[in-house]
Amino acid sequence: MQKKWLLLCLFLVSSIGCISVGAALLGYFAHKEAWPAKVHAYLAGRTPECCIDKVLEHLNTENDAGFFDKVDAVRDFVYGNSVHADHDFGKDPHPYDTGGVIRALLAVSDGKREPLELMCSSRSNAMTGILNQLGYASRQVHVFSPQPGSHTFLEVQNPDDGRWYIQDPDYNLFWINGISGERLGLGEMLTTPLEEVLPCTSEKVCDWKYAQPIKNYFGAGIYFNFDATPLIVVNEDRFDLDTKLSYTVPPGTIVEFAQNTWGADYGEPILSVIHGGP
């Protein structure tokens, strides 16, 4: 019962920009079947993913397009038909109503309504709903800064090489190693010196100016998988494990946050401490 109240508290946390940990977590709960998902479904009135045939008509990709072209097109679709804004949970559709949001994004694309007001978590939630229907595995990941908060985006698994790659539908970005040109996942982002990586809006448009607000967020991250215990990855060269995150409920370290949120149901969080350039 105490844990359920924690979830409700997180749900009610007010957010500034895209720094609401509560909203980020609730976005991920929409895709899981444990009790947090049921709480979220009750609050959101969520409907299933839908409309993939219509979405494909709006992606402007060839049938034989490669993995990155398809996934980039999905990210562009979500980003291009929504605007970043604090959630208004009284609006229809609810921001975490996966099927409702996808239908609304299509309506925006058809010129039938104004762009949806979504945050990083609900944009990621919508993108996951589309990728699920395309048969691509994805997982939401959350990165943390000492201040002022956290940010949510996706990793999507490329079935050709089995690797996971970042897709950020809130900033409309993917990430590359600026030296090799290879795309990156969260693990590489946490360990590669930040001066060696670049955020990109397309293959030919890459610059840190597109991601400056979240440059200090790549020191600590959490992979959420509700079939197992949460995995925390912290680069000690960028993030102090003793840092108290004032924006979590209750305030505490990143380990305490994971423990308070999931420990009772999923066991002690796994902590991986790594090192990498600043």
Q: What is the pLDDT of residues 5-29, one digit of tens each?
A: 333 333 333 333 454 444 444 444 4
What does the pLDDT read at residue 241? 94
Question: What share of the chain in percent tops pLDDT 90?
Answer: 58
Name the residue with higher pLDDT: 209 or 261: 209
What does the pLDDT read at residue 159? 96
Are the beta carbons of 176 and 169 closer than 8 angstroms?
no
Q: Among 108-112, 145-149, 209-213, whose mean pLDDT is lowest?
A: 145-149
Instruction: List the strands of the sheet with 138-144, edge to edge.
Output: 164-167, 150-157, 138-144, 220-223, 231-235, 270-274
Q: Quick check: helix, strand or coil at residue 51? A: coil
Whole-model pTM: value is 0.84
